[in-house]
Amino acid sequence: MLAYMETPMTTLRVRPATRDRVNALAADEFGGAAADKVIDKLLADHQKIKILEAYDRLAADPERWRDYVAEIDEWDATAGDGLDGE
């Protein structure tokens, strides 16, 4: 039995046009991967975009950005790896 078939599945109600777009994307850009794998990748990419947008908002405020960098420096000091800033 295929590994993906061992995982419990459910139905996601979408319009036929949406299903067709996901399937076309799967064929064109994901080597024919299953629709759920394509959706997983798209959601992961979306989450990365949201995280980067949050960093951009933080960096746009110099005071908040300095506080953030200072906190990262404090945590980095706890690593004890001796790799100053690497």
Q: Domain spans of the chain?
A: 16-77
pLDDT in tens, 37-83: 999 999 999 999 999 999 999 999 999 999 999 999 888 878 766 66
Report the candidate in 57, 56, 79, 59 with the shortest Cα–Cα distance to residue 69: 59
User: What's the predicted TM-score (pTM) here?
Assistant: 0.70
User: In angstroms, what CA-CA distances link 67 with 33, 55, 84?
Assistant: 43, 13, 19
> Predicted confidence band at 3 (pLDDT cuts at 50, 70, 90)?
low
